[in-house]
C-alpha cells in the first residue's frame, strides 16, 4: 500500500481548516453562529437515496438542517461550527454508502466524466453480450418439435451462460454494490429490488443450465437477463447525460472563476496568486480569454466582456477606463488592468451562485410528497414480489420466481420522484440563461397560479435614468444654445439629471463647444462656473445650473421635475424631465393582460407622475403616494379576496410586499441579491422576462402534471400485469428504464425552449 497517498479521512480533515470553509460554505444568515454548505453527492440514484442521506446527516450532533435533491444530486447542510466540523458530517454520508464533495471541487467534474465513461463501458458490454445471447436464444423460440436436438439446445444454453458472466460480474456491479450497501445499513433504494431481480433471473437460468431435467430446467432466461440489464444501464447513462445538461447552467456559472490571477507587485512586476488571496485594492492583469476574478474598475486598457450568464445580456459589452467589471464575466478582446473593489462573498458572482445553489437543493411541495412515499413504496414492492412468488409457487415454481423478478424490476418510484424536480430544474436553467435567477423552485407552483401582478414604478417600469422632456427659454434664446451651455456644466456632475442633459445634448444635431473655468458643485443644490466660446472676444459668462433657489429664480418653481439655468441677467432656461420608461414596459403589460392577468401600478411617487407612467404603458389601475405599508395592505386585501398576486419591484424599499406576495420579482442590478426577499431575481434589463417566467411556470406545471400522470398510470398498469405473470422480465426492465427516461426527456424540453408558450 502506498503510504504517501492520503486516505479518505485525511482528505476530509483538510476541510476542517476554517480558512477552507469559504470555498464551499458561507455564514448562515438565518442561523447565527452556523454555516451553510453546498455539496455534491456521489453514488445516489433515486429519491430513496436522498432520504437515506438526509437521515444520516440529521443524526450528526451539530447538523441543524439537511436537504438533498434527487434531481440535482446536491445537498444543503446547515451546521454549527461549535459542535461539528465538515469532516464529521461528511463521514456520516460516507458511512451511509455515499460520498459528499464540495460543490466547487475541481476534480468533481473529472470524477463524473470517469463515472460516465465507466457507465458507457458497462452498457456496451451488456449490449454486446445481449446481442450474442439473443442470437443463441433465437433457435429455441423458432424451432418446431424435433427441430432442435437436446445436445444443441444444451450447447446454446452453456454459450449463453458464459456470455452472461461478464454482464453479471461487470455490468451489474453498481447494482450489486448499492444493494449490499442497503443491506448493511438496513435501508432500501431502487437498486435493492433491481439487484434481487438480476440475481434471481441468473440463478434460475443457471440452475436450468446445470440441471436441464430439474425443477427449473424447462426454460432459461439469459436473454431476458442481459436485455433488462442493458435497458437499465442505457436508461441510467442517458439520464446522467441529460441531468448534467439540465444542471449545466449552474456548473458553467460556478466554473467561471479562474484558479489564479496575475497581481501587480510593488516593484511593478506581476505575481501569480490564488484567487482566494485577492484583497480589496489589489491591481490585477486580465488577459483576453480569461475571466474576471473579482468585481472591480478598469484602470488601463479597453476590451469587451461577455456577461451573458450573469446578466442575461447576450451581446458583448464594451469596458474601458473607469468602467466596472463583474467577476465571472469573460474578457474577450483586450488586455486590461483592474483595481479590485469586491472579493469573495461580496461579489455579485458569489451572490448569484449562492442563489442558484439554493434553488438546486430546494424541494418543491410536490417533490416532497413524492419523496415521502419512495421508501414505503419500495418496501411495498418487496412485499408484493414475495406474495406473488408465494402464490405462483403452488402453480409453477419456475414461473413464480420470474413473476417475482418482473414485479421487482417493473416497479419504479424514480419516475414519480423525478417528475417535479427534473422539470423545475430544467425551467430554472432556461430562465438563468435569460438573466432570471430562481431562489426557490416551489415558486414555479405559486407563479403559475397568479391572476394579478402589482408593479412598482421607479426602477421597475421605468429606468433609474431621466430623459429630457421639455425646454423653456427666455425670449431671444435658442433652445439648442441653452442646452449646449447647460451640458457644458453638467459634464462635471454625476447627478442623474446632469447625465440626462448630457444625453440630450449628445443626441442633438448641432454641438457648441464651450471652455469651462472655475467649476464648483454644491451638493443637493446645483453647479456653477464660468463658460466662454473658444477664440471669441466675448466675455465669459457666469452660469448656474440647478434648483430654482440655487439659480435665484424661485418664481419658476413647479411640481414637475425641473432644473434651471441662469446667468448674470437672471433666468435663462428651464429643463423639465420625466422618467425613462422601459422600452418593453407596454409590451409586458399587454402580454400579461392577454393572459387574463389584472395589472396594477402602486408607486410612492406623486399621483400625477404615477398616472403618466401608467397611461404610457397601458395600466388603468394605478395608485400614487403609496407607502410600503399601504402597498402591503393592498396586497393583503387582494389576497383576502382570493386573488393570487405577484409583485414586481426594485427590491430597495419593497421588502415586506415582496415577501408577502404569492410570487415576487426583484428587478434591477442594484438589488442586494443575498438579502432579497424575492422568488425571482431579474438581473437583465428585459422587463419581458416577467412574462417569460409566467409562461414558463405554467408550462412547467403542465409538464409536472404530465410526468406525474405518466408515473401513476405506468405503475397502475404494469404492476398488476407483472403480478399476473403477463409481463416478461425483459419487458419489465425496458418499462422501468423507459419510465424514468421519459420523465427526464419530457422535463428536458423545458431547458431547450427558445420561446415560452402558455400551454404545451
d(CA 553, CA 551): 6
The beta strand positions in 310-413, using DSSP E, are 317-319, 324-325, 330-331, 336-342
Q: Where are the alpha helices (DSSP H) in 186-247?
A: 191-210, 222-246
Kindly give the pairing relationship between strand 526-532 and strand 541-546.
antiparallel
**Cβ neighbours, 10 Å, residue 538:** 7
Residue 144 burial by CB count (10 A; 0-12/13-18/19+): exposed, middle or buried?
A: exposed
Distance CA 670, CA 689 (A): 17
Among 337, 441, 438, CA closest to 701: 441
Q: What CA–CA distance (Å, rounded) separates 53 from 44?
A: 9
| CA–CA distance, 260 with 268 (Å, rounded to integer) | 19
77 vs 65: CA distance, rounded Å: 6
Cα 734 from Cα 622, distance rounded (Å): 58
Q: What 3-state class would DSSP assign to 47?
A: helix
Which grid cell is 134?
439473443
Q: Both ends of the chain: CA-CA distance in Å?
A: 58
422: left (phi over 0), alpha (psi -120 to 50) or beta: alpha
H/E stretch holding 516 reads: strand 515-522
Cα gap 385→722, rounded to integer Å? 9
3-state class of 99 per DSSP? strand
Q: At what angle do helices 191-210 and 729-751 cross, to 10 degrees?
A: 150
**CA 363 to the chain's CA centroid:** 13
Contacts of residue 229, defined as CB under 8 A and 6 or more positions apart, other chains included, come to: 126, 130, 167, 171, 172, 198, 733
- Evaluate whether 516 touches 553 at the Cβ level (below 8 Å): no
Distance (Å, rounded) from C-alpha 375 to C-alpha 417? Answer: 11
* CA 170 – CA 123 distance, rounded (Å): 10
Strands 680-682 and 270-274: unpaired
Distance CA 701, CA 693 (A): 12
Q: Is 639 exposed, middle or buried (0-12, 13-18, 19+ CB in 10 A)?
A: middle
Told to judge if 456 belongs to the known catalytic residues of this protein, a careful annotator would answer yes
Q: Which of 456, 654, 679, 692 is catalytic?
A: 456
d(CA 101, CA 14): 12
Residue with the three cell numbers 456644466: 489
Residue 470 grid coordinates: 421639455
Residue 304 cell numbers, joined: 469587451
**How would you class 322 by CB atoms within 10 Å of its CB: exposed for 0-12, middle for 13-18, buried for 19 or more?**
exposed
Q: Which residues are within 8 A (CB) of 721 and not within 5 positions of it... i.e. 6 or more apart?
A: 410, 727
**Residue 535 corresponds to which cell in the numbers above?**
477664440
Alpha helices by DSSP H, listed for 411-442, are 414-433
| Cell numbers at 727, concatenated | 409481463
Give the residue numbers marked as catalytic.
456
Amino acid at each position: 500500500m502506498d503510504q504517501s497517498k492520503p486516505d479518505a479521512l485525511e482528505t476530509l480533515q483538510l476541510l476542517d481548516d476554517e480558512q477552507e470553509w469559504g470555498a464551499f460554505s458561507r455564514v448562515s444568515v438565518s442561523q447565527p453562529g452556523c454555516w451553510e454548505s453546498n455539496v455534491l453527492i456521489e453514488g445516489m440514484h433515486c429519491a430513496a437515496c436522498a432520504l437515506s442521506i438526509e437521515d444520516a446527516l440529521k443524526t450528526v450532533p451539530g447538523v441543524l438542517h439537511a436537504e438533498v435533491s434527487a434531481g440535482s444530486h446536491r445537498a444543503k447542510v446547515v451546521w454549527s461550527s461549535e459542535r461539528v466540523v465538515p469532516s464529521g458530517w461528511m463521514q456520516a454520508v460516507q458511512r451511509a454508502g455515499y460520498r459528499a464533495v464540495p460543490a466547487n471541487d475541481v476534480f468533481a467534474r473529472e470524477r463524473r466524466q470517469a463515472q460516465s465513461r465507466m457507465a458507457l463501458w458497462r452498457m456496451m458490454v451488456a449490449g454486446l453480450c445481449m446481442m450474442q445471447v439473443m442470437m443463441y436464444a433465437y433457435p429455441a423460440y423458432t424451432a418446431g418439435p424435433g427441430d432442435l436436438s437436446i445436445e444443441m439446445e444444451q450447447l446454446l444454453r452453456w454459450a449463453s451462460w458464459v456470455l452472461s458472466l461478464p454482464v453479471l460480474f461487470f455490468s451489474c456491479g453498481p447494482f450489486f454494490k448499492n444493494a449490499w450497501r442497503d443491506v448493511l445499513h438496513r435501508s432500501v433504494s431502487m437498486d435493492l429490488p433491481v439487484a434481487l431481480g438480476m440475481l434471481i433471473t441468473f440463478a434460475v437460468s443457471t440452475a436450468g443450465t446445470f440441471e436441464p431435467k430439474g425443477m427449473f430446467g424447462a426454460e432459461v432466461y439469459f436473454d431476458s437477463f442481459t436485455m433488462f440489464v442493458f435497458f437499465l444501464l442505457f436508461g441510467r447513462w442517458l439520464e446522467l447525460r441529460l441531468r448534467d445538461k439540465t444542471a449545466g447552467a449552474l456548473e458553467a456559472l460556478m466554473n467561471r472563476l479562474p484558479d489564479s490571477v496575475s497581481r501587480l507587485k510593488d516593484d511593478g512586476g506581476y505575481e501569480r496568486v490564488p484567487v482566494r488571496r485577492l484583497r480589496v485594492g489589489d491591481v490585477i492583469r486580465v488577459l483576453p480569454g480569461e475571466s474576471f476574478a473579482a468585481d472591480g474598475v478598469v484602470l488601463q486598457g479597453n476590451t469587451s466582456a461577455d456577461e451573458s450568464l450573469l446578466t442575461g445580456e447576450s451581446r458583448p459589452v464594451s469596458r474601458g477606463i473607469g468602467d466596472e467589471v463583474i467577476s465571472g464575466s469573460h474578457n474577450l478582446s483586450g488586455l486590461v488592468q483592474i483595481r479590485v473593489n469586491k472579493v469573495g462573498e461580496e461579489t455579485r458572482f458569489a451572490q448569484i451562485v449562492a442563489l442558484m445553489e439554493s434553488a438546486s437543493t430546494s424541494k418543491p411541495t410536490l417533490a416532497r410528497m413524492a419523496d415521502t412515499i419512495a421508501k414505503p413504496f419500495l418496501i411495498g414492492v418487496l412485499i408484493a414480489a414475495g406474495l406473488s412468488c408465494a402464490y405462483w409457487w403452488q402453480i409453477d415454481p419456475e414461473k413464480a420466481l420470474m413473476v417475482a423478478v418482473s414485479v421487482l424490476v417493473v416497479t419504479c418510484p424514480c419516475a414519480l420522484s423525478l417528475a417535479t424536480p427534473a422539470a423545475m430544474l430544467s425551467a430554472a436553467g432556461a430562465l438563468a440563461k435569460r438573466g432570471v435567477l430562481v431562489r426557490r423552485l416551489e415558486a414555479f407552483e405559486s407563479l403559475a397560479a397568479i391572476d394579478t401582478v402589482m408593479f412598482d414604478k421607479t426602477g421597475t417600469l421605468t429606468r433609474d435614468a431621466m430623459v429630457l422632456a421639455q425646454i423653456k427659454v427666455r425670449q431671444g434664446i435658442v433652445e439648442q444654445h441653452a442646452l449646449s451651455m447647460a451640458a457644458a456644466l453638467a459634464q462635471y456632475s454625476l447627478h442623474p439629471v446632469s447625465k440626462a442633459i448630457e444625453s440630450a445634448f449628445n443626441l442633438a444635431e448641432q454641438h457648441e463647444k464651450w471652455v469651462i473655468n472655475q467649476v464648483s458643485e454644491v451638493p443637493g443644490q446645483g453647479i456653477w462656473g464660468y463658460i466662454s466660446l473658444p477664440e471669441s472676444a466675448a466675455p465669459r459668462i457666469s452660469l448656474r445650473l440647478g434648483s430654482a433657489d440655487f439659480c435665484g429664480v424661485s418664481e419658476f418653481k413647479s411640481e414637475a421635475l425641473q432644473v434651471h439655468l441662469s446667468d448674470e441677467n437672471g433666468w435663462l432656461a428651464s429643463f423639465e424631465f420625466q422618467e425613462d420608461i422601459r422600452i418593453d414596459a407596454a409590451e409586458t403589460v399587454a402580454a400579461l393582460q392577454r393572459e387574463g392577468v389584472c395589472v396594477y401600478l402602486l408607486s410612492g411617487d406623486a399621483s400625477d407622475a404615477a398616472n403618466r407612467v401608467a397611461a404610457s404603458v397601458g395600466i388603468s389601475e394605478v395608485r400614487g403616494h403609496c407607502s410600503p405599508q399601504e402597498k402591503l395592505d393592498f396586497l393583503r386585501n387582494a389576497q383576502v379576496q382570493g386573488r393570487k398576486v405577484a409583485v414586481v419591484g426594485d427590491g430597495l424599499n419593497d421588502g415586506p410586499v415582496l415577501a408577502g406576495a404569492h410570487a415576487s420579482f426583484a428587478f434591477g442590478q442594484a438589488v442586494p441579491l443575498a438579502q432579497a426577499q424575492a422568488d425571482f431575481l431579474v438581473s437583465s434589463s428585459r422587463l419581458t422576462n416577467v412574462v417569460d417566467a409566467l409562461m414558463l411556470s405554467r408550462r412547467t406545471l403542465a409538464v409536472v402534471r404530465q410526468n406525474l400522470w405518466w408515473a401513476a398510470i405506468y405503475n397502475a398498469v404494469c404492476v398488476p400485469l407483472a403480478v399476473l405473470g403477463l409481463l416478461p422480465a425483459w419487458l419489465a426492465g425496458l418499462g422501468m428504464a423507459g419510465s424514468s427516461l421519459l420523465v427526464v426527456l419530457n422535463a428536458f424540453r423545458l431547458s431547450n425552449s427558445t420561446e415560452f408558450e402558455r400551454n404545451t
